[in-house]
């Protein structure tokens, strides 16, 4: 009871289809796992479209021990700078702090304390050695939303003139700083 | 089901965000006084994904950021913005990730087409199978004919 | 005596036995060596015994607070109640893999025990496939997720367990859910064995169906229990979130439901054979991929995989091996399976085909929606979300024609049917559904809920009608005759009708829940709130102490027309050791609706109100909410009833002698 030849081949195609589909999905998963291992694929990355936009308008008050700043200050900057959202209650921020300090003299870092009590934030900054050239407080957390911040820490590299050149959600690492932040900052300075 | 997630991932620590306890009882003070506006804000909020949680809308989430976003939505609703304007405001800041109902684009075409495609594929497969069965059996081969003749003898 | 080392040894021994259970019987079936084939049941029992011993060892360590075992130290604590020390065994990755393996071994033991009447080659092959799968998971457990690893120095106390998990509903959820997931390994093994034999016939359909029905019952209960847990534990009145983890359990349920139905066609009509084999493979593949990809970090939370990349790679390799080889065998062998019987589109078979198309289409949509975000990110680099609004708009409407058809399907005769006589028998069901629907339409908002409500009633009424038809009850029939016929009717008929009615009950509950109402209020003690015709009064706030937490308990009196309906005690629990707060929902149900209260934060009321706090309450009125889970329970009972059918109990039928087999291997 063999079906005619043409049908047989169609049947063959239909029975191979599940294997082919599963294999394609499996290769996809493998690529994802490999990407996650390398850090090139993050299924939880929000891809907030921050790049190449003018920073949103804001004016934030002082956060001791620094001075607050506004979008106008960023727009008036003549050299690239890094804006870093942080909080004293955020553990990755503690880990990130020494890296920010190591940037001193190479790239100015302006900090925004996100939803933090002023005393806590001041204590945190002083303890870690004050990496911030300017320091503002965003207690309601609404400026952060305007920037598309989904958590702390998040860092933005700002061009002279106040547009966002680069952005990362999550803690900076030595590798990110050496491979991405500093070369880009050098390019922007030229 | 969420238990599974919690059960299987020991020590669910969110790397970059401190999520508040899952108490989704928000403060009534943050609700709009006008019930129609509040209903509209809830409808918009249920289409917006909480960015730091699993798959919840900001209306369902107890996270701090979700509370702030609820507040932002209500400010915009009270200011008379349209649903579309509010959604666009969010997408400008957080990208398409924040839409729980993805927009129809080239990227999501296959997603939105999945329902009709699956139905059509099923019906076509059933129709093909049905037609195949309806075919008359293949004519007997010479050897088979001889064997039948022998058996009948 | 029951040391972790013994547990580890027993696990390794079980793994060796599983490898033997894979190799020996399959070789025996291939070389037609009855002595090799006969080893299969003994090896399956041995593997089960070893795994049981291994599990008991882990349980002993958990109950005995042996914190030198890393797994116990990380997930348990001295202060944890005994019940949760036991159920906590499977409340973490390592332990749950061990439970998974144990259930798989139980399935092997069950096939060895209940399958004694199977043809010896088929039983040997089924057990061989189960053994190979089990060996994979036991290797995974041994090498990347060993629950018996020790720590030194041993901590004085453990880290404790996530308080959200310390709940009786949750405690027994994983075993039931896993019994469902893993249970589908048996139909899978039958399908692979059939492909090896090159033969699928009516007898195969009859053998495989009870296993599929049993797994389906467990999975149905498991999903319902999980949904119920999120309803009363997470505390925002929701019951289904279309979360990847939830979808991972729904996918095999959908294809499993399709399998339970298509196997009927194989059994009765020897049609849909290739398709049924594919469904059996697909259902277990979805069970495996769902549960394990959830752990890989792709679909879901960030972490467990990132900590241990070998684990994700091992899982993927295992999936590729199990699923890939089954599908490869399918691609080679399926075209050679003989074609099935013919039938008209309008027939019982046709209705079952329709059922399969719709269920699989829903499954395809849920699968696409669940997998789309990571693939969009991988292929197009764009981050998108696919959430509840998408699934509500696409998957839910596809269930409606399914409901409409499932009422008619069981009344159609096989091969060729006429619609008119069936509809003539269903007129009163349609009338009833119409009347109830019109009544419901006044209460419900939105087209989808009203249509769903009407169809739910229609399905229940039609299930009753199909039973009445089978017992020949119509005007003029003596009641005694009908009763006699009912007694003679196979239990499977009652089971099917009950399961369909259960689906109707669930749908009615889902439809009614669209009309749920809630209020979030800030009240002082003594204040009242009106919601859904009830007056809710906060009468007190008090502190209380639990075994490992401190609680804040509110007392809410609910009155209707000044008549006290119930007193609710929602509370908030602070677990100091985990620095976590959980909220305990208070629910009062009368079967027709849930009154549901959650206690939120408290604030000082400000000046002028000394010692008075404002408590924030979230109050819900959820009409017919219990029906959603009651329906699932009825479905599972229906499945269990059909399992108790005489035809299943009596044992396996003999294979038709004259069936033409394609030579195997």
Chain C CB within 8 Å of residue A36 CB? yes
Could you tell me the end-to-end alpha-carbon distance of chain B, in angstroms, rounded to an integer?
Answer: 69
Residue B20 pLDDT class (50, 70, 90 cuts): very low
Question: In this model, does residue C657 exceed pLDDT 50?
Answer: no
A132: closest CA of chain C, how far (Å): 30
Residue B10's pLDDT is what?
29
Residue B72's pLDDT is what?
92
Burial class (CB in 10 A: 0-12, 13-18, 19+), C446: exposed
Question: In this model, does residue B43 exceed pLDDT 70?
Answer: yes
**Is B3 in contact with C170 (Cβ distance < 8 A)?**
yes
Beta-carbon contacts of residue C500 (< 8 Å; ≥ 6 apart):
C406, C407, C410, C459, C460, C462, C463, C638
User: What does pLDDT average to over chain B?
Assistant: 77
CA C659/CA C657 separation, integer angstroms? 6
Beta-carbon contacts of residue A72 (< 8 Å; ≥ 6 apart):
A59
Chain C residues 163-192 within an 8 A CB cutoff of chain B = 164-165, 170, 173-174, 177
Chain C CB within 8 Å of residue B57 CB? yes
CA C558/CA C621 separation, integer angstroms? 12
- By Cβ distance, the residue of B15, B97, B137 closest to A46 is B97
Beta-carbon contacts of residue C347 (< 8 Å; ≥ 6 apart):
C412, C413, C414, C415, C416, C417
- Number of domain units in chain B: 2
Beta-carbon contacts of residue A91 (< 8 Å; ≥ 6 apart):
none
Q: Which of B93-102, C84-93, C550-559, C621-630 is predicted with the least confidence, judged by mean pLDDT?
A: C84-93
Closest residue in C to B19 (Cα–Cα): C580
Chain B CB within 8 Å of residue A3 CB? yes
Question: In this model, does residue C563 exceed pLDDT 80?
Answer: yes
- Among B73, B98, B123, the domain-final residue is B98
Question: In this model, does residue C534 exceed pLDDT 90?
Answer: yes
Closest residue in A to C660 (Cα–Cα): A1
**Is A90 in contact with B64 (Cβ distance < 8 A)?**
no
Q: Identify which has the larger pLDDT, C236 or B6.
A: C236
What average pLDDT does range C515-526 have in this prediction?
A: 88
CA C205/CA C655 separation, integer angstroms? 11
CA C127/CA C138 separation, integer angstroms? 16
Per-residue pLDDT tens for C125-150?
Answer: 999 999 999 999 999 999 988 999 99
C96: closest CA of chain B, how far (Å): 8
- Contact between residue C69 and residue C61 where contact means Cβ atoms under 8 Å apart: yes
What average pLDDT does range A16-45 have in this prediction?
A: 87
Residue C335's pLDDT is what?
86
Peptide bond into C153 cis (omega under 30): yes
C563-568/C593-604 β-pairing:
unpaired
What average pLDDT does range B60-79 have in this prediction?
A: 88
CA C472/CA C461 separation, integer angstroms? 16
Beta-carbon contacts of residue C296 (< 8 Å; ≥ 6 apart):
A29, A33, C305, C311, C312, C315, C316
Write down the residue that tokens 């900052």 correspond to: A185
What average pLDDT does range C242-247 have in this prediction?
A: 85
Burial class (CB in 10 A: 0-12, 13-18, 19+), B138: exposed
How many other β-carbons are positioned within 10 Å of the β-carbon of residue A98?
A: 12
Question: In this model, does residue C324 exceed pLDDT 80?
Answer: yes
- HSE, CB side, 13 Å, CA atoms: give it for residue A37: 13
Please state, in angstroms and as integers, the Cα–Cα distance from residue C603 to each residue in B29, C524, C584, C607, following that order. Answer: 11, 10, 19, 12
DSSP A172: -
- By Cβ distance, the residue of B15, B68, B138 closest to A4 is B138
One domain, residues B84 and B134: no
One domain, residues B90 and B113: no
What average pLDDT does range A137-165 have in this prediction?
A: 91
In chain C, how many H helices and how many E strands? 24, 10
Q: Identify which has the larger pLDDT, A18 or C485.
A: A18
Q: Which residues sit opposite C613 in a β-bridge?
A: C604
Residue B135's pLDDT is what?
56
Q: Which residues of B touch A3 (CB under 8 A)?
A: 132, 135, 138
What average pLDDT does range C299-304 have in this prediction?
A: 46
Residue C238's pLDDT is what?
82
CA C66/CA C64 separation, integer angstroms? 6
Chain A CB within 8 Å of residue B143 CB? no
Residue C319's pLDDT is what?
93
DSSP A50: -
Helix (H, G, I), strand (E, B) or coil at A182: helix
One domain, residues B53 and B70: yes
B6 occurs within a structural domain = no
Positive or negative: CA dihedral B52, B57, B63, B66: positive
Residue C179 pLDDT class (50, 70, 90 cuts): very high
DSSP A175: H
Q: Which of A151-160, B65-74, C303-312, C462-471 is predicted with the least confidence, judged by mean pLDDT?
A: C303-312
One domain, residues B27 and B94: yes
CA C539/CA C523 separation, integer angstroms? 10
Per-residue pLDDT tens for C333-370?
Answer: 988 887 777 788 888 989 999 999 999 999 999 999 99
Residue C648's pLDDT is what?
66
- Among B53, B74, B98, the domain-final residue is B98
The CATH number of the domain holding residue B85 is 1.10.8.640
Residue C477's pLDDT is what?
67
Chain A CB within 8 Å of residue B72 CB? yes
Residue C258 pLDDT class (50, 70, 90 cuts): very high
A81-86/A109-114 β-pairing:
parallel
B3 occurs within a structural domain = no
Helix C348-380 with C244-269: angle, nearest 10 deg: 150
CA C179/CA C171 separation, integer angstroms? 14
One domain, residues B85 and B113: no
Phi, psi of B34 (to 5 degrees): -75, 115
Residue C654 pLDDT class (50, 70, 90 cuts): low
B1 occurs within a structural domain = no
Residue B113: domain span: 106-152
Chain B CB within 8 Å of residue A89 CB? yes
Buried b (16+ CB within 10 A) or exposed e, C375-403: bbbbeeebbbbbbbbbbeebbeebbbebb
Phi, psi of C3 (to 5 degrees): -80, 160
Q: Identify which has the larger pLDDT, C600 or C102.
A: C102
CA C8/CA C187 separation, integer angstroms? 30
Most C CBs within 10 Å: which of A2, A4, A32, as the mutation test of the C interface?
A: A32
Per-residue pLDDT tens for A162-176?
Answer: 999 999 888 888 988
B32 occurs within a structural domain = yes
Q: Identify which has the larger pLDDT, C452 or B130.
A: C452
What average pLDDT does range A18-42 have in this prediction?
A: 89
Helix residue ranges per DSSP H, C145-272: 168-171, 173-183, 185-197, 202-233, 244-269
Residue C600's pLDDT is what?
83
Helix C491-513 with C625-643: angle, nearest 10 deg: 170
CA B60/CA C30 separation, integer angstroms? 57
C298: closest CA of chain A, how far (Å): 6
**A53-188 carries CATH number 3.40.30.10:** yes
Question: In this model, does residue C329 exceed pLDDT 90?
Answer: yes
Beta-carbon contacts of residue C177 (< 8 Å; ≥ 6 apart):
B4, C218, C219, C222, C223, C225, C226, C249
Residue C168 pLDDT class (50, 70, 90 cuts): confident
What average pLDDT does range C658-665 have in this prediction?
A: 40
- Contact between residue C245 and residue B4 where contact means Cβ atoms under 8 Å apart: yes
One domain, residues B39 and B87: yes
The candidate with the shortest Cα–Cα distance to C65, out of C82, C77, C81, is C77
Per-residue pLDDT tens for C22-45?
Answer: 999 999 999 999 999 999 999 999
Percent of chain C clearing pLDDT 90 (strictly above): 53
Beta-carbon contacts of residue A165 (< 8 Å; ≥ 6 apart):
A51, A52, A80, A157, A158, A159, A184, A188
Residue B8 pLDDT class (50, 70, 90 cuts): very low
Q: Identify which has the larger pLDDT, C169 or A76.
A: A76
Residue C27 host element (H or E): helix C4-31
The candidate with the shortest Cα–Cα distance to C398, out of C462, C432, C354, C429, is C354
Q: Which two tokens stand for residue B95?
A: 């990208």
- By Cβ distance, the residue of C165, C226, C372 closest to B111 is C372
Per-residue pLDDT tens for A82-123?
Answer: 999 999 888 888 889 999 999 988 899 999 999 999 999 999
One domain, residues B72 and B117: no
Q: Which two tokens stand for residue C441?
A: 């339409």
Per domain, the residue ranges of chain A are 9-39, 53-188
């Amino acid at each position: 009871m063999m079906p005619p030849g043409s049908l047989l081949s169609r049947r063959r195609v239909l029975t191979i289809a599940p294997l082919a589909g599963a294999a394609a999905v499996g290769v996809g998963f493998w690529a994802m796992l490999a990407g996650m291992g390398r850090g090139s694929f993050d299924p939880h990355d929000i891809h907030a479209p921050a790049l190449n936009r003018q920073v949103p308008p804001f004016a934030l008050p002082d956060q001791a021990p620094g001075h607050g700043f506004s979008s106008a200050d960023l727009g008036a900057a003549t050299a690239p700078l890094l804006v870093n959202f942080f909080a004293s209650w955020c553990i990755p921020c503690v880990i990130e702090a020494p890296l920010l300090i190591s940037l001193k003299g190479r790239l100015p870092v302006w900090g925004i304390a996100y939803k933090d009590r002023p005393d806590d934030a001041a204590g945190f900054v002083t303890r870690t050695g004050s990496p911030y050239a300017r320091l503002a407080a965003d207690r309601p957390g609404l400026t952060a939303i305007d920037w598309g911040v989904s958590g702390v820490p998040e860092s933005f590299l700002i061009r002279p003139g106040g547009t966002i050149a680069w952005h990362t959600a999550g803690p900076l690492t030595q590798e990110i700083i050496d491979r991405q932040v500093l070369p880009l900052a050098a390019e922007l300075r030229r | 089901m969420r238990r599974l997630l919690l059960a299987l991932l020991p020590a669910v620590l969110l790397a970059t965000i401190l999520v508040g306890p899952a108490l989704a009882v928000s403060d009534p003070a943050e609700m709009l006084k006008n019930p129609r506006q509040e209903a509209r804000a809830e409808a918009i909020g249920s289409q917006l994904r909480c960015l730091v949680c699993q798959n919840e809308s900001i209306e369902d989430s107890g996270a701090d950021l979700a509370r702030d976003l609820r507040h932002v939505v209500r400010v915009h609703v009270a200011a008379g913005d349209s649903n579309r304007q509010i959604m666009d405001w969010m997408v400008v800041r957080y990208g398409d990730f924040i839409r729980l109902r993805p927009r129809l684009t080239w990227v999501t075409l296959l997603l939105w087409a999945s329902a009709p495609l699956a139905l059509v594929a099923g019906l076509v497969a059933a129709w093909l199978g049905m037609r195949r069965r309806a075919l008359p059996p293949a004519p007997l081969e010479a050897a088979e004919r001889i064997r039948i003749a022998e058996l009948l003898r | 005596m029951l040391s972790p080392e013994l547990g580890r040894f027993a696990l390794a021994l079980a793994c060796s036995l599983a490898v033997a259970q894979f190799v020996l019987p399959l070789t025996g079936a291939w070389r037609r060596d009855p002595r090799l084939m006969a080893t299969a049941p003994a090896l399956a029992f041995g593997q089960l015994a070893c795994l049981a011993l291994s599990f008991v060892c882990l349980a002993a360590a958990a109950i005995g607070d042996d914190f030198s075992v890393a797994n116990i130290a990380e997930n348990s604590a001295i202060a944890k109640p005994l019940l949760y020390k036991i159920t906590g065994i499977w409340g973490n990755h390592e332990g749950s893999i061990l439970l998974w393996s144990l259930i798989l071994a139980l399935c092997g033991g069950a096939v060895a025990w209940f399958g004694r009447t199977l043809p010896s080659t088929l039983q040997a092959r089924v057990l061989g496939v189960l053994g190979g799968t089990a060996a994979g998971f036991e290797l995974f457990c041994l090498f990347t997720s060993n629950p018996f690893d020790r720590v030194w120095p041993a901590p004085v106390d453990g880290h404790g367990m996530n308080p959200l998990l310390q709940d009786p509903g949750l405690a027994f959820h994983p075993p039931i859910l896993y019994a469902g997931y893993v249970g589908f390994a048996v139909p899978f093994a039958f399908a692979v064995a059939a492909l090896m034999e090159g033969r699928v016939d009516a007898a195969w359909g009859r053998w495989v169906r009870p296993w599929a029905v049993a797994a389906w019952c467990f999975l149905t209960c498991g999903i319902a229990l999980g949904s119920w847990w999120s309803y009363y534990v997470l505390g925002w009145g929701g019951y289904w979130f279309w979360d990847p983890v939830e979808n991972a359990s729904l996918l095999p349920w959908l294809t499993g439901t399709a399998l339970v139905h298509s196997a009927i066609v194989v059994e009765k009509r020897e049609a849909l054979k290739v398709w049924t084999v594919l469904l059996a493979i697909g259902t277990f593949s979805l069970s495996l991929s769902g549960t394990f990809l959830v752990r890989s970090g792709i679909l879901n939370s960030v972490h467990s995989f990132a900590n241990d990349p070998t684990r994700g790679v091992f899982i993927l390799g295992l999936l590729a091996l199990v699923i890939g080889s089954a599908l490869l065998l399918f691609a080679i062998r399926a075209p050679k399976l003989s074609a099935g019987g013919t039938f008209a589109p309008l027939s019982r078979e046709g209705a079952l085909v329709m059922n399969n198309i719709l269920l699989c289409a829903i499954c395809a949509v849920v699968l696409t929606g669940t997998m789309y975000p990571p693939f969009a990110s991988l292929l197009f680099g764009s981050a998108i979300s696919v959430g509840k609004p998408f699934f509500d708009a696409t998957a839910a409407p596809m269930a409606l024609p399914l409901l409409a058809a499932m009422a008619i399907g069981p009344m159609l005769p096989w091969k060729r049917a006429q619609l008119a006589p069936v509809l003539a028998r269903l007129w009163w069901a349609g009338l009833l559904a119409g009347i109830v629907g019109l009544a419901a339409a006044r209460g419900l908002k939105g087209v989808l809920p009203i249509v769903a409500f009407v169809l739910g009633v229609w399905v229940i009424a039609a299930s009753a009608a199909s039973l009445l038809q089978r017992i020949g009850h119509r005007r003029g029939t003596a009641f005694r005759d009908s009763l006699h016929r009912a007694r003679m009717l196979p239990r499977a008929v009652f089971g099917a009708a009950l399961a369909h009615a259960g689906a109707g009950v669930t749908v009615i509950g889902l439809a009614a829940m669209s009309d749920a109402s809630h209020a979030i209020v800030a009240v002082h003690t003594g204040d009242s709130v009106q919601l859904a015709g009830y007056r809710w009064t906060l009468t007190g706030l008090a502190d209380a102490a639990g075994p490992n937490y401190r609680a804040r308990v509110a007392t809410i009196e609910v009155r209707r027309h000044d008549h006290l309906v119930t007193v609710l005690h929602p509370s908030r629990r602070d677990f100091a050791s985990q620095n976590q707060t959980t909220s305990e929902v208070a629910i009062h149900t009368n079967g027709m609706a849930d009154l549901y209260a959650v206690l939120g934060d408290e604030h000082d009321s400000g000046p002028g109100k000394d010692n008075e706090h404002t408590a924030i309450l979230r109050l819900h009125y959820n009409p017919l909410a219990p029906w959603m889970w009651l329906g699932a329970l009825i479905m599972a009972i229906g499945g269990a009833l059909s399992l108790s059918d005489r035809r299943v109990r009596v044992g396996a039928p003999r294979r038709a002698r004259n069936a033409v087999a394609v030579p195997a291997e």
